[in-house]
Amino acid sequence: MTDDSLSTDSKLTTSKRRWASEGRFLTGRISRPETDRLPPGQHLVKNWPVLDLGEQPIVELESWRLQVVGGVEHSQSLTWAAFMALAQSSKISDIHCVTTWSRYDNKWEGVATRDLLDLVQPRPEATHVMLTSYDGYTTNLPLADFAAEEAILATTWEGQPLTRDHGGPMRLVVPHLYFWKSAKWLSRIELLAGDAAGFWEKNGYHMLGDPWREQRYSDD
């Protein structure tokens, strides 16, 4: 499945494309994580809202695969058992959605992205990653952000297996960027020699998505 086959006319998708064209939610303020835990324009929630493109794929563990390809020395096609046999890590992080909600102190377990990169060994020319999900969703990241200390390929949240509606059995969590970068139902990680736009980036959203700089939408 590709971006072209994803639904672009769901109520949420239509709204978010309109928000991008209008610059919705922008405050013009700049805060920094070392001085202000809540980024500008955000509000705290205690629940965990569910947002997707209208499809929540059913991914059976028996057929689950994670492909790691592109600019790496050792391409991988990991089964669930092989993935779970990798070094396991625990992280606690805040998350920030571009739709303005934030949630503090989320507890994750899974495989640290740095440990996965140690396995595949990125080539010198690799600068970015393209993430692809089982529903066909894509999003891009600089390799340095994918490899951030708090970034994790999460399989549990708050001590329980990650549920399907939140991206289970495994999703990426990159907490220092807006949460659309933390792809649910992750199936493929491709290391690239340059940047490329994913689904929301093609629909008016920022190529990086730093919450403390309010990088909600494209400058183009």
**Residue 218 pLDDT grade (very low, low, confident, very high; cuts 50, 70, 90):** confident
| Nearest to 182, CA basis, from 149, 217, 135, 141 | 141
Q: Which residue's structure tokens are 């835990």?
A: 37
Q: Is the pLDDT of residue 199 over 80?
A: yes
pLDDT band for position 164 (cuts 50, 70, 90): very high
- Token pair for residue 148? 């951030």
CA 65/CA 132 separation, integer angstroms: 12
Whole-number average pLDDT of the chain: 89
158 vs 220, residue with greater confidence: 158
Nearest-angstrom CA–CA distance, 124 and 24:
38
Interval 84-96: pLDDT, tens: 999 999 999 999 9
pLDDT at 55: 80
Tokens at 145, concatenated: 């952000």
Give the three-class secondary structure for 47: coil
Q: Kindly state the average pLDDT of the residues 144-162.
A: 98
As a whole-number percent, the residues of the chain with pLDDT over 70 amount to 82
Question: What string of DSSP letters covers 153-202?
Answer: EEEEETTEEPPGGGTTT-EEE-TTS-GGGS-SSEEEEEEESS----TTGG
Query: What is the helix (H) or strand (E) element at residue 82, kind and residue range?
Result: helix 80-84
Per-residue pLDDT band for 132 (boundaries 50, 70, 90) equals very high
User: Do 64 and 80 form a contact (C-beta atoms < 8 A)?
Assistant: yes
- Does residue 25 register a pLDDT over 50? no
- Beta-carbon contacts of 64 under 8 Å, excluding residues fewer than 6 positions away, are 79, 80, 83, 169, 170
Q: C-alpha distances in angstroms, 64 versus 74, 83, 182?
A: 19, 10, 19
Domain limits, the chain: 39-52+80-115+138-186+194-213
pLDDT category of residue 51 using cuts at 50, 70 and 90: confident
Mean pLDDT of 122-150: 97
Query: Residue 39 pLDDT > 90, yes or no?
Result: yes
Are residues 162 and 155 in contact, defined by beta-carbon separation less than 8 angstroms? Answer: yes
User: Domain 39-52+80-115+138-186+194-213, what architecture?
Assistant: Alpha-Beta Complex (3.90)
% of the chain exceeding 90 in pLDDT: 78
The one-letter amino acid at 95 = I
Structure confidence by residue, pLDDT tens digits, 5-16: 565 555 555 555
User: What does pTM read for this prediction?
Assistant: 0.84
Integer Cα distance of 46 and 94 in angstroms: 12
> What backbone torsions phi and psi does residue 95 show, to the nearest 5 degrees?
-130, 150
